[in-house]
Amino acid sequence: METIYALSSAGGRAGVAVIRVSGPATAAAVEALTGAKSPRAREATLRKISDPETGAALDRGLVLWFEGPASFTGEDVAEFHIHGGRAVVAGVLGALGRLPGLRLAMAGEFTRRAFENGKLDLTEAEGLADLIDAETEAQRRQALRQMEGALGQLYESWRGRLIRILAYAEAEIDFADEELPGDLLWRLGPEIEALASEIQSHLDDGRRGERLRDGVEVAIVGPPNVGKSSLLNRLAGRDAAIVSDEAGTTRDVLEVRLDLGGVPVALADTAGLREAEGSVEKEGIRRGLAKAHSADLRLVMVAAKRGGGVEGDFELAQPGDLRIVNKTDVGGGVEGALPISALSGEGIEALLATLTERVTALFGASENPVITRARHREGLEACGRELERALAGLRDDRSGELVAEDLRLAARSLGRITGRVDVEDLLDVVFRDFCIGK
């Protein structure tokens, strides 16, 4: 196994930079750079750091030593907390690179080794990546929970139940004198059904975890000139969209990113929905409509007209969408719609509050572990299908072996999500505290 090293903190000038080393040659690397034996494990120790070839001083910094397996990767690990100057970092990285058995780590390699050494499962590793990418409070909470194992534990508990069911089925098949599908259905059917329905309700989550991770899409829709760009600018607090009173200026979809109550929101201004004149505008409208349909939420906007009535309608509004009447500085509102004036700013705070409430209720961090990636969803859907097939097999009196095979596949589908696919090993463990037949 090669020893890897990398700058673990962000590149560029900084007060402190952290260089991490992991692998069997770590102790030797610490000794080479500090001229002394590895410090006591888990204690920050101030050391002079020098280039082992020339003996030239590179920096003074803290050295931390973690003896495997009690480390992040499960291997011997050292961290050099040095000054974050470019030349200092380059000097230490260069010195490490010249040591035998050391090479620069590839992207994600420390975490990969942690996974391979059983320090974390795949969902925890994904949670760690999401935590580093988290930009809002709710994203951070969701990622932290996943990194701490909430999602992995849920899937492992399901897999454990499934393996017990499977073990039972296999024991019956092995020990029974004749095939016993009727008996198996009676004994195992309810448990399989319960598990399948728990997985299904976990899947029916409105994709809230995935939306929180990726960002919630909100589209402002309405005919030209009702003030969509003006509202976008108001909400963004800057000039992101071009406001003009010439109809059809918003040729494409403009987006600003907002943090609403900890939920990341991409707010898009769509091209005005009206008869297009030019082909460019037509394309803009097509994209705008597509965006309006695919968005998680819409702000459907009409505008009050001088002398009464409104321009536009709420036809595109779906349940949960917000209905808005703009330009209430020139005319009246509409029952059931939020009155605003993008021009004067009136009603904007109330609109933001309502939008924040809606977005956090639908997509905010949830107390229960949630699916955060399509990968999880695919694994769970496959598991659900295989459980259904096992149930159908029991009902149709198929052979116990076929049913057991479906259960085994279902357990594998769950195992693939956490990266634990060792059904056979687990079966042995389960069988040890099992006594059926004899």
The β-bridge partners of 77 are 22, 66
The residue to which tokens 């102790």 are assigned: 27
330 versus 429: smaller Cβ distance to ligand GDP: 330
- Kindly state the DSSP code that residue 54 receives in the 8-state scheme: T
Minimum gap (Å) between residue 282 Cβ and ligand GDP: 16
Select from 28-36, 42-50, 72-80, 339-347 the region that touches ligand GDP (CB under 6 A): 339-347
Select from 27-35, 220-228, 382-390, 410-418 the region that touches ligand GDP (CB under 6 A): 220-228
3 versus 326: smaller Cβ distance to ligand GDP: 326
Q: Which of 177, 245, 367, 433 binds ligand GDP (CB under 6 A)?
A: 245
Minimum gap (Å) between residue 224 Cβ and ligand GDP: 4
Residue 256 token pair: 């600003």
Establish if 326 lies at the interface with ligand GDP (CB under 6 A): yes
Select from 51-59, 73-81, 129-137, 241-249 the region that touches ligand GDP (CB under 6 A): 241-249
203 versus 352: smaller Cβ distance to ligand GDP: 352
Establish if 330 lies at the interface with ligand GDP (CB under 6 A): yes
**Closest to 269 (Cα-Cα) out of 210, 211, 303, 226:** 226
CA 61, chain centre distance (Å): 35
Of residues 221-240, which lie at the interface with ligand GDP (CB under 6 A)? 224-230
Question: Does residue 69 have a cis bond before it (omega within 30 degrees)?
Answer: yes
The residue to which tokens 């920096």 are assigned: 59
136 versus 230: smaller Cβ distance to ligand GDP: 230
- Return the ∠ at Cα 93 (arms to 102 and 3), rounded to 5°: 20
Residues 28-58 as b/e (b if ≥16 CB within 10 A, e otherwise) read bbbebbbeeebbeeeeeeebebbbbeeeeeb
Establish if 329 lies at the interface with ligand GDP (CB under 6 A): yes
Q: Which of 157, 244, 318, 399 binds ligand GDP (CB under 6 A)?
A: 244
327 versus 389: smaller Cβ distance to ligand GDP: 327
Establish if 250 lies at the interface with ligand GDP (CB under 6 A): yes
The string of DSSP codes covering 115-163 is HHTTSS-HHHHHHHHHHHH--SHHHHHHHHHHHTTHHHHHHHHHHHHHH
Minimum gap (Å) between residue 261 Cβ and ligand GDP: 25
Establish if 343 lies at the interface with ligand GDP (CB under 6 A): yes
180 versus 240: smaller Cβ distance to ligand GDP: 240
Q: Which of 102, 221, 338, 342 binds ligand GDP (CB under 6 A)?
A: 342
Establish if 327 lies at the interface with ligand GDP (CB under 6 A): yes
Q: How many CB atoms lie within 10 A of CB 301?
A: 28
Beta strands in 262-313 (DSSP E): 263-269, 297-304, 310-311
Q: What's the start-to-end Cα distance of the chain, in Å?
A: 46
Q: Which of 181, 272, 288, 347 binds ligand GDP (CB under 6 A)?
A: 272
* Residues near ligand GDP (CB under 6 A): 224-230, 243-245, 250, 272, 326-327, 329-330, 341-343
